[in-house]
Amino acid sequence: MIAIIDYEAGNLRSVERALKYLGLACRITSSAEEILSSDRVVFPGVGAAGKAMEVLRSRNLLQVIHNVIARKTPFLGICLGAQILLDKSEENNTECLKMISGTARKFADMNLKIPHMGWNNLSIVHPHPILEGIDPRVQFYFVHSYYPEPAKQEDMIATTDYGIRFASVIGKENVVATQFHPEKSGREGLRILVNFSRWDGKPGHFDDSVLGV
Amino acid sequence: MLSKRIIICLDVREGKTTKGIRFQGNIDVGDPVAMAREYYEQGADELVFYDITASSDQRDILIDVVENVAGNIFIPFSVGGGIRTVDDMYRVLNAGAEKISVNTAAVLTPDLISQGARFFGSQCIVLGMDAKRVGKSDRISSGYEVWINGGRTPMNMDAVEWAKKAQDLGAGEICLNSIDTDGTNLGYELMITSMISKAVSIPVIASGGAGKPEHLRDVFIKSGADAALIASMVHYRQYTIGQLKSYLAEEGIPVRTLV
């Protein structure tokens, strides 16, 4: 069972639809028990960092997220869910979850259209099981005004160019997070969700028996 | 590099696609879900459904269509037509649309844009705008006027000013349709597209007039549009999305790769 953490964050149902279409059992939930007992956790999000952290706090989900990550449960953040895994966000000057060290920063180049909206490429910095089999030429769907800036190079899995080169996939141990929306990125996006559903939470470990389909 | 988007527009009336695929001269009234699926597989970057259902009691059919599309295709899509309240927005977004498009209702009640942006985020709110070339005047300094009610009612409002105001109110994107070029297949209205694209910092979708691949190239290169809306050129099977993208890629325009 994949738990989709429910914190009123916009695209929960899009993620649920994509997982169901793929035949993956999932449940939108804010129950600590359900989240902690699930095999995998998806942490989606659309909206503002300040409000998101407020809702997580009011639903007592901060500790639950820390605990489920500490249990080594494979954990996938998406969009805002990627940004608030960092220490803090420039959006509303928000203290965040501190699961990966770094900051979510605002795109500052005035010559660029903000939000960064549309399909853009990835350059893989550190191969990761969730990107297994992804054609390097394909693009993914982004819509965001802030981007993750992990403090450590080793937590950067893939980058994307939009005026600057930013980290579009970040990860550490059993946590991985995409700034783009795999659930809205066509077939290659769905492949990322399938990869996640088969990932055992160990970065850099390509278990052929799991991923070799 | 960020790709230029090709967005397919589907007109829906009472749950059926009206500009269906033409087979030997007959207009086949299409199934919007099947058509959406076909364009998704061809490599469309995004879809727009315009609900042209006359009566509001048919809205439930549209919601069914939106739910069906959302469960079967995994690219962003927006829904426009007849959205007048935040509650209308909520129903469509909750059914699985990525964005909603407001046009006439936003002109009549600009606060709808700010309310929508506040409730759902700017990225969900597309301002649809129908503009017509009328010549410059005191009120219309760009020479392009905003019309509402599907291009039937002039508003004596400047199109560029309205675009800027909509951005300030919280619109996340502008879909600019030229009344002059719409349906002509003679190419997009490059002048107004360029003016609005320069005047705002949010993405601009060009609409109205696409008939040939060169028209897409021109609107991307000459007017700075971020996305181009097309309809009949693919509905009537003159081109596949793959053909359009291959052409644009050869012309040096970044487009999403199909694999």
Nearest CB neighbour to A115, from listed B123, B227, B259: B123
CATH architecture of A2-205: 3-Layer(aba) Sandwich (3.40)
Q: Which residues contact B30 (CB under 8 A, 6 or more apart)?
A: B16, B17, B20, B21
Give chain B positions within 8 Å (CB) of A18.
74
CA dihedral A170, A172, A176, A179 (to 10 degrees): -20
Nearest CB neighbour to A13, from listed B96, B172, B259: B96
Domains of chain B: 5-250 (3.20.20.70)
**Residues B21-69: tens digit of each pLDDT:** 544 444 455 788 988 999 999 999 999 999 887 566 667 788 999 999 9
Asked if B74 and A138 come within 8 Å (Cβ–Cβ), the reply is no
What average pLDDT does the structure give for chain A?
92
DSSP of A53-101: HHHHHHTTHHHHHHHHHHTT--EEEETHHHHTTSSEETGGGEE---SSS
Q: What band does A29 get if pLDDT is binned at 50, 70 and 90?
A: very high
Q: Which helix (H) or strand (E) holds A153?
A: none
**Residue B136 is encoded by which pair of tokens?**
């410059």
What percent of chain B lies above the pLDDT cut of 90? 77
Which residue type is seen at B221? Answer: I
Please, what is the Cα angle at B76 between B72 and B80, to 5 degrees? 100
Question: What is the interface size between A and B, counted as CB pairs within 8 Å?
Answer: 87
The pLDDT of residue B246 is 97
Q: Which of A9-23, A166-180, A187-201 has the lowest mean pLDDT?
A: A9-23
Asked if A120 and B98 come within 8 Å (Cβ–Cβ), the reply is no
Examine the pLDDT at A195 and tell me if it is beyond 50.
Answer: yes
Q: Which residues contact B192 (CB under 8 A, 6 or more apart)?
A: B131, B133, B142, B144, B159, B160, B176, B178
Domain residue ranges in chain A: 2-205
What average pLDDT does the structure give for chain B?
91
The pLDDT of residue B17 is 81
Give chain B positions within 8 Å (CB) of A184.
74-76, 98
Examine the pLDDT at A32 and tell me if it is beyond 90.
Answer: yes
- Of A207, A210, A172, A190, which Cα lies nearest the Cα of A77? A172
Distance, in Å, from the CA atom of B75 to the CA atom of B204, rounded to the nearest integer, reads 18
Q: What band does A57 get if pLDDT is binned at 50, 70 and 90?
A: very high
Distance, in Å, from the CA atom of B143 to the CA atom of A205, rounded to the nearest integer, reads 61
- Of B195, B198, B236, B233, which Cα lies nearest the Cα of B214? B233
**Residues B174-197: tens digit of each pLDDT:** 999 999 999 899 999 999 999 999
The pLDDT of residue B26 is 42
Asked if B2 and A18 come within 8 Å (Cβ–Cβ), the reply is no
Distance, in Å, from the CA atom of B233 to the CA atom of A106, rounded to the nearest integer, reads 39
**Residues B213-241: tens digit of each pLDDT:** 999 999 999 999 999 999 989 988 899 99
Distance, in Å, from the CA atom of B1 to the CA atom of B211, rounded to the nearest integer, reads 26
DSSP of chain B: -PPPEEEEEEEEETTEESS--EETTEEP-B-HHHHHHHHHHHT-SEEEEEE--SSGGGHHHHHHHHHHHHHH--S-EEEESS--SHHHHHHHHHTT-SEEEESHHHHH-THHHHHHHHHH-GGGEEEEEEEEE----SS-TTSEEEEETTTTEEEEEEHHHHHHHHHHHT-SEEEEEETTTTTT-S---HHHHHHHHHH-SS-EEEES---SHHHHHHHHHHH--SEEEE-HHHHTTS--HHHHHHHHHHTT---PPP-
Neighbours of A18 (CB within 10 A): 26
Give chain B positions within 8 Å (CB) of A49.
none
Cis status of the peptide bond prior to B154, with omega within 30 of 0: no
**Residue B54 is encoded by which pair of tokens?**
């006359």
Examine the pLDDT at A33 and tell me if it is beyond 90.
Answer: yes
Q: Please state the rounded mean pLDDT for residues B132-145.
A: 97
Distance, in Å, from the CA atom of A36 to the CA atom of A31, rounded to the nearest integer, reads 9
> Which residue reads 């694999």 in tokens?
B259
For B225, the closest chain A residue by CA position comes to A113
The pLDDT of residue B24 is 40
Q: Which helix (H) or strand (E) holds A168?
A: strand A164-172
Q: What band does A41 get if pLDDT is binned at 50, 70 and 90?
A: very high
- The verdict on A120 touching B (C-beta cutoff 8 Å) is yes
- Note whether B103 and B75 are within 8 A (CB): no
- Of B71, B250, B149, B242, which Cα lies nearest the Cα of A183? B71
The pLDDT of residue A210 is 45
Q: Please state the rounded mean pLDDT for residues A182-192.
A: 96
> Which residue reads 């269906």 in tokens?
B20
**Phi, psi angle pair for B106, to nearest 5°:** -70, -35
Examine the pLDDT at A172 and tell me if it is beyond 60.
Answer: yes
- Note whether B155 and B107 are within 8 A (CB): yes
A190 min Cα distance to partner chain B (Å): 8
Asked if B257 and A118 come within 8 Å (Cβ–Cβ), the reply is no
> Which residue reads 């309809």 in tokens?
B231
**Residues A136-166: tens digit of each pLDDT:** 999 999 999 999 999 999 999 999 999 999 9
- Angle formed by the axes of helices B111-120 and B159-169, nearest 10°: 40
Asked if B259 and A188 come within 8 Å (Cβ–Cβ), the reply is yes
Neighbours of B111 (CB within 10 A): 10
**Phi, psi angle pair for B165, to nearest 5°:** -65, -40
pTM of the model: 0.93
Q: Which helix (H) or strand (E) holds A27?
A: strand A26-29
